[in-house]
Structure 1
Amino acid sequence: MLSTVSKGGPAPAPPEPAPSRTRAAAGRVDMLHVSLLAVLGVLVLVGGITRPEQFLSLDNAELILTQASVIGVVTVGVTFVIIGGGIDLSVGAIVALASVWATTVATQSYGLAGILFCAVVVGVGCGLVNGLLIAYGPMVPFIATLAMLASARGLALQISEGRTQIVEVRAVLDLGLPGSHVLGVPPLVLVFLTVSVVGWLVLTRTTFGRRTVAVGGNPEASRLAGIDVRRQRLMLYLLSGLCCGIAAFMLIVLTGSGQNTNGNLYELDAIAAAIIGGTLLSGGRGTITGSVLGVLVFTTITNLFALNNLQSDVQQIAKGAIIVAAVLVQKGRSTS
């Protein structure tokens, strides 16, 4: 007999997976993380053999982590969206728009707080538009975020008039200096670490995280279990927009400027990092740890190729091969 829920009563929680399935899934995730760590180890070994003095230096390690920080924050937001069964192709354009809007003369007059506030508000605002179109429109995520990509890029170009907007706020520029450290860590790396830890806690230790996995795995079953699927999807795109706003501020600190070309191809890099980190494009499975390791793998490859004076086309081929291999591994695991 099917059980019913009285009106006004508490909504039932999504059904818990069987313990054996949970343990098996956790085992696959752990193996994936070990595999990514092994890939990083191989890359470090190659760097140590080919360019030991440059690659193994502390300065280069800080450079790799700093370069990974901006796209890493974006990837955290994208990971949530993909686990929830969506996709966000607009993250790079949102980063560009937020960085341009936050570096106008009017915004810079409010100092560091004004720039940070503007970047976050623009990011969240774009995420809100995406979420409303997808959750309540309803529009297919691919189309809605593709439209946002074009619109945000166009607006960024219009605001900047195609020019680079130089930041003149000393407090912002000081954060991006090579010797700048907070608690012995570069500020951008500390922000990346904080966002990653918070993202991991939200995904694995909160009801919001469990609902994200449930909605991505089976939205209809989640709806029948009492989850407001539309609100959950809206919140996921708000979260992605928030991460884009934070990343835009980090990029401003890193480059000391705002440009309409900022964030170019970030959407592809973030999705690729999430995929090789074990996030399923169909939704319902993924980890923040895996995505962070995916970002570090790609950033290390870029650094390694640059130190060895290899052309960028070879680097792109290597990244493409890694993505294909990761998808094939995922497909094999899902059918086993």
Structure 2
Amino acid sequence: MSDHSTTPGTHRGPDLTGVENTVAPTSDTVRVENAAAESERSSRGAGLMSGSFGRNIGLIVALLVICVVGVVTAGDRFASVDTMVTILRLASIVGVVSIGMTFVIISGGIDLSVGAIVALSSVWASTFATQTMAEDTHWVVMVFVALAVGGACGLVNGVLIAYGNVVPFIMTLAMLASARGLAEIISERRTQIVNVQGFKDFWSADILGVPLLVVIFALVSVGGWFLLNRTTFGRRTLAVGGNPEAARLAGINVKRHTTLVYVLVGLCCGLAALMYLARTSTGSSTHGTLLELDAIAAVVIGGTLLTGGRGTIVGTVIGVLIFSTLSIVFVLNNQDSSTQAVAKGLIIVVAVLLQQRLARRSAST
């Protein structure tokens, strides 16, 4: 005799297939499951917006707001192709240095000497002896000299910081003074004119209507993103900046990696020096003045933690574009450099405060 009784709170539907239907969930169970699913979706959304994606969206919105202000205040003078190209050209040199600076800050360091290294590289690459050698052989000699000087300065910084245990702030401050002074000695505080025509023709060329300097900035940005996000070098940089002792115990040669990071930013400085030579046709000990502040500001605005362990190349690029666009807006509205400096300082302070708030929120969760 079959038992067709049912337990309270459940219902069995008609058995049309010969198989008993499953027990339908109660209304309380449904409410709990729906609440859990909603909570999970909310936590995922909050985690996404508080991560690098959310920070980059905020930066893009800020950039768009500055562009709107430019259109409103300057009209067609801002909303033109020539102005956009000018913004990108202005961002290119600072951007290349900022990519290298991103790696340094992510690794837990700082480099105050990038502007002076750019000056020294530009002066050394444009000396009479270097240009004479370039005319006798090939203008690539100037490229090699600039990159070699930048890389060598970065190597000195890296070795003394990693193996000499000199604090990065002190070491790079010493390099700032030394490199700038050496550039003044070599150039005798005179502007050196670039006369190698092959060099000038190549570096002033356009590719499909885009200035070569902008193309270089784009290539360096893509290369930096790939190096940070898709290679062992990038993962080690994040690990060293997050916890050097844990990275050492994990088998990473922290000292060697720190040295390589400073060599990388030195090479970026050498490339930036070549871009200065191309844009101004001169080598000067005044090139790159305060460039270190612009680079650090762009990196911080882009979301890279000054304490190391976190950062994005995309954020750095957007940060560079924000400052370049802001500078053009100020120029078109006849604002002086002092006002620009005040605005830039306020933006940096706001960015650091937001970083601290996000760091506290991440720690609490």
Q: TM-score, normalised by structure 1?
A: 0.91
Residue equivalent to 1:244: 269
Match of 1:156 among 183, 191, 195: 183
Q: Shift of the alpha carbon at 1:174?
A: 2.8
1:218 and 1:45 map into 2 onto residues whose CA distance is: 41
Q: How many pairs does the alignment contain?
A: 314
Q: Residue 158 of structure 2 contacts residue 263 of structure 2 at CA under 8 Å; is this kept in 1?
A: yes
- For residues 291-306 of structure 1, the aligned pairs below 5 Å read 291-306=316-331
Structure 2 match to 1:5: none
Cross-structure match for 1:182: 207
- Tell me if the contact between 2:122 and 2:284 (Cα under 8 Å) persists in the aligned partners: yes
The alpha-carbon deviation at position 27 of structure 1 amounts to 4.7
Separation of aligned partners in 1, 2:356 and 2:199: 45
1:26 CA displacement: 7.8
* Cα distance in 1, alignment partners of residues 306 and 202 from structure 2: 36
Q: Does 1:84 align with 2:107?
A: yes
The one-character-per-residue Cα deviations of 1:46-77 (angstroms, maximum 9, x if unpaired) are 11111122111111111110110001000000
What is the CA-CA distance between 1:312 and the residue it aligns to? Answer: 1.2
Q: Is 1:71 matched with 2:94? A: yes
- In 2, Cα distance between equivalents of 1:38 and 1:124: 36
| Greater mean alpha carbon deviation, residues 218-227 or residues 46-55 | 46-55
Percent identical across equivalent pairs? 57
Kindly provide the amino acid, as one letter, of the partner of residue 207 in structure 2. Answer: V
CA 1:237–1:303: 2 relative to 1, 3 Å = same
Instruction: Tell me if 1:282 matches 2:307.
Output: yes
Give the structure 2 partner of residue 130 of structure 1: 157
- C-alpha separation in 2, matches of 1:185 and 1:333: 38
Amino acid paired to 1:92? G
- Structure 1 residue 97 corresponds to structure 2 residue 116: no
TM-score (norm 2): 0.84
- In the alignment, residue 66 of structure 2 is paired with which amino acid? L
CA offset at residue 334 of structure 1? Answer: 0.3
Distance 2:89 2:267 in 1: 20
* Counterparts of 1:322 and 1:175, CA distance in 2: 37
Q: Spell out structure 1 runs of 4+ moving beyond 3 A.
A: 23-27
Q: Report the 3-state secondary structure (helix = DSSP H, G, I; strand = E; otherwise coil) of the residue aligned with 1:261.
A: coil
Q: Identify the match of residue 355 of structure 2 among 309, 327, 330.
A: 330
Provide the residue aligned with 2:61 in structure 1. 38
Q: Which residue of 2 aligns with 1:119?
A: 146
In the alignment, the residues of structure 2 paired with residue 26 and residue 235 of structure 1 have an alpha-carbon distance, to the nearest angstrom, of 33
The Cα of 1:184 is off from its aligned counterpart by 2.9
**Residues 121 and 270 in structure 2, CA contact (< 8 A), matched pair in contact too:** yes
Question: Quick one: which amino acid aligns to residue 154 of structure 2?
Answer: G
For each residue in 1:271-319, what CA deviation from the matched residue of structure 2 results, as whole angstroms up to 9, or x when unmatched?
0100010000000000011011111000111111001101111111111
Kindly indicate whether residue 289 of structure 2 is the aligned counterpart of residue 264 of structure 1: yes
Q: SS in structure 2 opposite 1:286?
A: coil
1:197 corresponds to which letter in structure 2? V
Instruction: Give the one of 323, 328, 337 matched to 1:312.
Output: 337
- How do 1:51-62 and structure 2 match up within 5 A? 51-62=74-85
Q: 1:168: which partner in 2? A: 195
Unmatched runs of 5 consecutive residues or more in structure 2: 1-42
3-state secondary structure, aligned to 1:143: helix
Corresponding position of 1:139: 166
The alignment's C-alpha RMSD in Å is 1.5
**1:220 and 2:245 matched:** yes
Q: Report the alpha carbon displacement of residue 145 of structure 1 after superposing the two structures with TM.
A: 0.6
Aligned to 1:195: 220
Distance 2:203 2:150 in 1: 21
| One-letter code aligned to 2:279 | L
The structure showing larger relative contact order (alpha-carbon pairs under 8 Å, at least 6 residues apart) is 1
Deviations, residues 110-157 of structure 1 (Å, cap 9, x unaligned)? 142111111000000000100110111121111111111110001000
Shift of 1:233: 0.1
Amino acid at match of 1:84: S
Tell me, which stretches of 5 or more residues in structure 1 are unaligned? Answer: 1-19
Change (3 A) 1:231 1:26: farther
**Cα distance in 2 between the residues matched to 1:25 and 1:74:** 29
